């Protein structure tokens, strides 16, 4: 079945559930999970954010791995972790080709129509553009 699931992780309840589902799939099919946490950089703050990420990237990666291990104790053995910056949908779609992921698991948070129109929906963007199966967790 799926050998390499990609999870977009932002610490929300739905992203935690997406991670837990991807881990269950990895265990069932002797696969792995690629967890990507995306920092969305605004135009005005791009330089400051880049400097901040360079300074704290390793510390944030350790914190994130520790958080994942509290959810799933065997996470370190099955997870490839990456911190990235950019548009979450673009980053996740780019990960497919770069790393050969064959499945995406992503959380979906309900927002009102106005917020969806202004901010977009990462899960909707990924669903529209992915060329691999996508599981949306609510």
Any long-range contacts for 18-21 (C-beta under 8 Å, 24+ apart)?
A: 18/105, 18/106, 18/107, 18/135, 18/137, 19/68, 19/71, 19/72, 19/105, 20/71, 20/72, 21/105, 21/135, 21/137
> Which residues are CB-neighbours of 55 under 8 A, at least 6 positions away?
none
**For the segment 77-128, what is each residue's pLDDT rounded down to a tens digit?**
999 999 998 889 999 999 998 999 999 999 887 655 544 444 457 888 898 8
Measured CA to CA, the distance from residue 133 to residue 79 in angstroms comes to 19
CB 83 within 8 A of CB 59: no
CB 4 within 8 A of CB 96: no
**For the segment 11-68, what is each residue's pLDDT rounded down to a tens digit?**
999 999 999 999 999 999 999 999 999 877 655 555 555 555 555 678 888 999 999 9
Measured CA to CA, the distance from residue 19 to residue 137 in angstroms comes to 10
4-137 CATH, one of 3.40.50.720, 3.40.50.620, 3.30.460.20, 3.10.20.90: 3.40.50.620
């Amino acid at each position: 079945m799926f050998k390499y699931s990609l999870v977009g992780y932002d610490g929300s309840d739905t992203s935690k559930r997406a991670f837990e589902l991807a881990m269950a799939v990895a265990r069932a099919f002797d696969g792995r999970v690629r967890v990507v946490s995306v920092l969305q950089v605004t135009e005005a703050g791009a330089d400051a954010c880049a400097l901040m990420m360079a300074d704290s990237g390793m510390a944030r990666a350790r914190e994130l791995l520790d958080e994942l291990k509290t959810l799933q104790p065997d996470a370190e053995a099955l997870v490839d972790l990456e911190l990235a910056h950019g548009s979450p949908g673009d980053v996740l779609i780019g990960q497919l080709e770069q790393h050969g992921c064959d499945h995406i698991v992503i959380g979906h948070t309900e927002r009102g129509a106005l917020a969806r129109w202004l901010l977009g929906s990462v899960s909707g963007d990924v669903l529209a553009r992915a060329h691999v199966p996508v599981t949306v967790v609510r």
